[in-house]
Amino acid sequence: MSPAEQKKRVAAPVAELLKPRGFRKSGLSFTAARDEATLIVALQASTGTTQAILRVTCNVAIQLHRFAAGLRPNVWDAQWHQRIGFFMPERCDHWWTCDSDEAAGRAGREIAALLEASALPEMERLAAPAALACLWRSGRSPGLTDGQRTEYLSALGG
């Protein structure tokens, strides 16, 4: 199985979970517009992927509309982003190694389960300027530098 086919196999359970929640798929990325933000779920293949083995992870992000003028939603321009491994008990970066149909399907199901149980509820909770400002005032800013956190907080008036 080629890496492209393995990616489709990983993405299938994720798409099945996200579609009823208002997400649209483009390649390996899924986006859903909310009142004040866009939620982003993006599968990412490692540069260590070969013809025989796919290494894949999932990034989740929130891009506030007020800071996204003219930008296509993407993880790296978002005001909050996190790797899915930080929603696992170990709370660290995690990559799945897929060397078969079964491994790719299992990776997709595990990612979908983490999204459903932890990541999506957190994203929905934080998908508003006031919620992110509260998080930033606490000193936490997943995916941002402290300077970015301070700049965004200032732009939100607080």
Q: pLDDT tens across 94-152, in order? A: 999 999 999 999 999 999 999 999 999 999 999 999 999 999 999 999 999 999 999 99
Indicate whether 19 belongs to any domain: yes
pLDDT of residue 132: 96
Indicate whether 143 belongs to any domain: no
Indicate whether 152 belongs to any domain: no
> Domain total for the chain?
1
Indicate whether 65 belongs to any domain: yes
Q: DSSP code of 100? A: S
d(CA 91, CA 52) in angstroms, rounded, equals 28
Tell me the residue range of the domain where 83 lies: 3-126
Q: Helix, strand or coil for residue 110?
A: helix
Q: Helix, strand or coil for residue 91?
A: coil
Indicate whether 115 belongs to any domain: yes
Total-model pTM: 0.94
Indicate whether 150 belongs to any domain: no
d(CA 93, CA 97) in angstroms, rounded, equals 13
d(CA 139, CA 137) in angstroms, rounded, equals 5
